Structure 1
Amino acid sequence: MRALLGSALVLLLGASAPATAASLRDIQHVVIFMQENRSWNHYFGTMAGVRGFNDPNVQVNADGRPVWNQTVTPSMSSATDTLLPWYLGYKDTSDALAAIQCMNAGSNGYTANQAALNDGLNNMWARNNTPWSWGYLKRSDIPIHFAIAEGWTAGDMYQESQITATNPNRVTLVSGSINVPGSPQTPDQGGPYIDNNETPGCENNNVNCYPLKWKTIYEIYQAAGVSWQVYQDTNNFDDNPLAWFEQYQNASDDSPIAQRGLAYLGLDAFYAAAANGSLPEISFIVGPAELSEHPPYMPKDGAWLQKKVVDAVTKSPKYDSTVLMMSYDETGGWGDHVTPFHSPQGTPGEWMEDPYGYFGQIFTGPGFRVPFYIVSPWTRGGRVFTERADHNSQILFLEEWLEARGYEDVRTPEMVPWRREHMSSLVNALDFSRTDTSLPDIPDAEAPLMSGGKYIGTATCEATYPVQRPLVPYEEQQSETLHVEQGFKEVIGDLTEGRFLVFEADGHALTNAGGRGTSKITQSKAQADHSDKHQRWVIHYTADEESGIFHVSSALDGRWIGKKGALVSQQAQAANIKITFLGNGKGYKVAYTDGFALVGGKREYRIWSVTYL
């Protein structure tokens, strides 16, 4: 009777019936699209509601300086000894804003990035890479990137897989390893692959042995009967990692792995397949060099390609069963303030002795954060996904999804075990309690300049603006260097540090009323824009940062939540609070570790990440 009444009400009100809750097995198509060489801070450090330049948990080193302050030597400038993040378009002229589109920052290589990391201090981007590495863009420079990331769900703790250049990161995307000692592979299968070597043989120190010989995920999927296809043009910037594996190099032209993994079908074939609903289960897009966003190739040209891909997916008759994952392979010499989450020293397949003799024992990854967002009917709505992830996470997602669809033997044995155990599968980024195929407004994209069938936008930019790099503002650093937009995003996924959070339930929010005599947390009416500072909190890791157990402090006055709802002045008095993501629209359970509610009996909350000054 209840079901009949509900249907009648829907008809009477003229509304559409709510969609039945979906699940992983309802996804029919996954599209993997990886761009080149940009860091999270460089693109999205200013974005509201994410872990960016408003990070309340920013790392402070032993010298008392947060990692915002990058070391500057006297040879670089006599005006300062540190450099704050700075807006590359600070001169605010049309020529300056146009020129930074085609500028380089620094090196994306292994040595420069390990040197910038500086044994975890993460304070040598300006000195050991370049001062431009610490520069960033704003929404006005990359409006389409912002619109896509905010129209759906962005992952602000998605890390490059390896602290180095393109090839090792893309190899990880398709195989789960670069064969660091202790990996599932044997030494004669190639690697440890820590640079872009494509010359047969090994370097003198027995690294970067090429070609690679272990199995990729696509061979596993092929054997399991999964349909897949690489879509690429002949101008693919050598960005198809399958071409670096011996078994693909030796495959006959009519073999399935050659036809699906190495053929040059062109991106037009992808657009056509999306339009007629005939995409394979897995599509892997490799774009042309000039649209890759690899400096000096321009973000605005890459934006045009991204919008083409997004439009193809969202206008497809199969959009209601498609997930598009958009990522970047590595940082490209652009810095990020979050010191990489990584394994304990000595973890097999993760740590090795620096073969060049500079750094001693190093972890090869995961590395610095890169932009990442998921376009689908289950990620719509401007959310931020907060789980620790890297390129292995896309493999983990594919495995869970394929198993949900009934496939067997799709889990790769080649992935380094620590990554399988500690990286997100990305499944929590999708809310299957609601299927939303509405589309956000995405600005029109300016088509890249072409001549004779070739893209010439970057070449034209470089010719028009011979000096692309702006002067480094050593003498003009102001608070505006840490520019952030104001606003909020709903949080989804297991929580990590780095954001101001608002906890809301039944129209009320967890509150520190402030003022003398206020000794306990309370509840007060939630604000539509989640902007009340009395309701703003910061989480802090306890001994195990993966446990989901946090200490919680108030953004209003720095006091901590103690036992029985008390507000206490010292972290030593803070209570352990367990925050558990419930998934699929259910929000979070927030309670003391003994199960008691923080206040008012409420244990289930929606959480918002907010950025307000």
Structure 2
Amino acid sequence: MIAPQIVSLVALSSLVLAVPQTVQIHGGDWKSKIKNVVVLVEENRSFDTFAGGLTYSKDINGLLHHNYCNSMNASDPSEHDDICAGPRANDVAADDPNHSISGVNMQLFSTWHPDEEIADMNIKYENMRGFVTEQSITYDTFNKTRAAEVINYYTPDQVRVFNAMAENFVLFDRWFAAVPGPTNPNRAYITSGTSHGHGSNDNAFNVYGLPQRSIFQQLSEAGITWMNYQNSTTGPGLGFNPDAAFYEWTLSSGASKTNIAPLEQFYTDAKAGKLPQFTYINPECCSFQSFHPPSPITLGENFIKGIYEAVRNSPQWKETLFILTFDEHGGFADHVPPPVNVPAGDDICYTETAHDGKNITFEFKRLGIRVPTLLISPWVGKGVIEHKGQNKGGEYTHTSILGFLNELWGLESLTPRVSWSSTFEHLITNQFRTDTPTQLPNPFPYN
């Protein structure tokens, strides 16, 4: 990690900075500084795709200093038919890459059926070279340009908003999704520490079908205020529910009516200084603000810009920690193998049929692929790059958020995965920054 006091970065000229740019020293422990936590979970981008091309720090484990290639046929790499990552990602991805658990097996291990017992000991099972192969199989194409969309990445200018946020706050370059699979199982891990054996976006997520205790229930029982602001949908067959609506308790307790609100209410509450202690935000999915294909990158950037500026200019900013992450990689490539042999959230397994017609069984003992994650607050350093976790299991993953909330508010751990996940309270400093930007640059003008 780069120590905050030695980081010196030139702010983008398009940023509007608060003045004066002095540092005030405050006493007290980190818990006295953070009264409100805001979590925004976007969709379906890997770290390398979205942040692998950032140039403001050589300490970022991205693609600028790493020649990363995949083969069109991962089962026969001797063909030397390699496609290498480059700064050629499109505003709108032509295809939505496969991100089922079996599909991710192919992306990680170049087979749908890895030997789970030796996956952590044999380098051939951690080659991270199957992304392009999986794309060519899913879309039945030998068109290299089309298949290469999964491995290409954005330049800093193409992701101006995210780049500005990263330059000014903390970027995690070793934060892994909770599940090497799709959206809702990952979102369940984010909000309850387990998916209760669900490995796909099945109907249980649409009908308040998950029985486990969630962070929303836990906060209510502890008398801690919360709200799930959402621009999603709220019913079977209508798309993706807001994450609080996954759980039986949310419906039976009445929280579905009192604690789930339209996104417009978030902007109103932020401006008035009335955000709850825990704010959880769902974007729509998957057309215009979530980054999930076919959402344009430009519209997603504009969305996170608006959320940031609402938080930054709220009367509550001085006591707020804002966490921005992505639920999963969405099938887009990354060169860093995810950790294996980690605790599952529970002992319930998941089975699905792979492309070859054979079943795979997953025990949730491997993490998902790296996703871009930011820690934003006037109490964190500027331009900090955070690598491997420094406590507990030594890795950052989605359940690190739950672990942090446990530490902040004295809550009990919901699952073994939460207990294992590294937390990040050490990144909260005694220096209150007055140089954090009040506005971010506008998105890259693709058109």
Q: What is the TM-score of this pair, normalised by structure 1? A: 0.57
Aligned residue in 2 for 1:434: 431
Q: Could you say what secondary structure the match of 2:203 adopts? A: coil
Alignment match, 1:379: 380
Answering whether residue 110 of structure 2 is matched by residue 103 of structure 1, we say no
Partner of 1:238: 240
Displacement of 1:244: 2.1
Alignment size in residue pairs: 382
Structure 1 residue 159: Cα displacement: 0.6
Structure 1 residues 393 and 45: CA distance shift in structure 2, 3 A? same
Contact 1:163/1:364 (8 A) holds in 2? no
Looking at structure 1, the residues matched to 350 and 305 of structure 2 have their Cα atoms a distance apart, in angstroms, of 42
- 1:277 and 2:276 correspond: no
Q: Is the 8 A contact 2:40 2:323 kept in 1?
A: yes
Match of 1:193 in 2: 198
Which residue of the partner structure matches residue 128 of structure 2? 122
Superposition deviation, residue 75 in structure 1 = 12
AA matched with 2:42: Q
- Alpha carbon RMSD of aligned pairs, Å? 3.3
1:434-491 deviations in Å (ceiling 9; x for gaps): 111322385433599xxxxxxxxxxxx9xx9xxxxxxxxxxxxxxxxxxxxxxxxxxx
Give the letter aligned to residue 435 of structure 2: S
Residue-by-residue CA offset, 1:554-591 (whole Å, 9 max, x unaligned): xxxxxxxxxxxxxxxxxxxxxxxxxxxxxxxxxxxxxx
Once the two structures are superposed, residues 339-382 of structure 1 have per-residue CA deviations (whole angstroms, 9 ceiling, x without a partner) of 001226x9784795855345566655311100100110122411
2:26 is aligned, of 20, 23, 32, to 20
Matches within 5 A, 1:59-458: 68-73=68-73, 80-88=80-88, 100-118=91-109, 119-130=125-136, 131=147, 132-179=149-196, 192-198=197-203, 211-233=209-231, 235=233, 238-251=240-253, 255=254, 257-261=255-259, 263=260, 265-289=261-285, 290-343=288-341, 349=346, 352=349, 355-356=352-353, 357-359=358-360, 363-386=364-387, 387=389, 388-403=395-410, 410-413=411-414, 415=415, 417-421=416-420, 423-430=421-428, 432-440=429-437, 443-445=440-442
Q: String of CA shifts for 1:188-221, please: whole Å, max 9, x gaps.
A: xxxx1100001599xxxxxxx9921111111111
Change (3 A) 1:287 1:234: closer
- 2:305/2:440 contact within 8 Å kept: no
Helix, strand or coil for the counterpart of 1:194?
coil
For residues 385 and 311 of structure 2, the distance between their equivalents in structure 1, rounded to whole angstroms, comes to: 21
Q: What secondary structure, in the 3-state scheme, does the structure 2 residue paired with 1:435 have?
A: strand
- Alpha-carbon distance in 2 for matches of 1:15, 1:248: 44
2:189–2:398 Cα contact (<8 Å) kept: yes
- Unaligned 5+ segments in structure 1 are 1-13, 57-65, 90-98, 180-191, 202-208, 404-409, 449-460, 465-613
Return the alpha-carbon distance in structure 2 between the equivalents of residues 362 and 411 of structure 1: 24
1:38 aligns to what? 45
Residue type matched to 2:199 in 1? I
Q: Match of 1:50, as an amino acid?
A: I
Amino acid across the alignment from 2:198: Y
Q: Offset of 1:260 from its aligned partner?
A: 4.0
SS at match of 1:178: coil
1:426 is displaced (CA, Å) by: 1.8
CA gap 1:234/1:84 in 2 versus in 1, 3 angstroms: closer
Contact 1:113 1:129 in 2 (8 A): no
1:36-70 deviation digits (Å, cap 9, x = unpaired):
000000011122321112567xxxxxxxxx8x232
Percent identity, aligned pairs only? 21
Q: TM-score of the superposition, structure 2-length normalised?
A: 0.77
Per-residue deviation, 1:384: 0.7
TM-superposition CA deviations, 1:224-256 (whole Å, max 9, x none): 1001111123557524122222233444xxx3x
Distance 1:161 1:350, change over 3 A: farther
Show CA shifts across 1:3-55 (max 9, x none): xxxxxxxxxxx997832134223211100110000000001112232111256
Change (3 A) 1:243 1:360: closer
Q: Aligned runs of 1:461-610 on 2, under 5 Å? A: none
Q: Answer 1 or 2: higher relative contact order, Cα 8 Å, separation at least 6.
A: 2
- Closer/same/farther in 2, CA of residues 268 and 77 from structure 1, 3 Å limit: same
Partner Cα distance (1:34, 1:281) in 2:
17
Equivalent residue of 1:365, what SS?
A: coil
Contact 1:397 1:427 (C-alpha < 8 Å) held by counterparts: yes
In structure 1, C-alpha distance between the alignment counterparts of 2:23 and 2:166, rounded to whole Å: 28
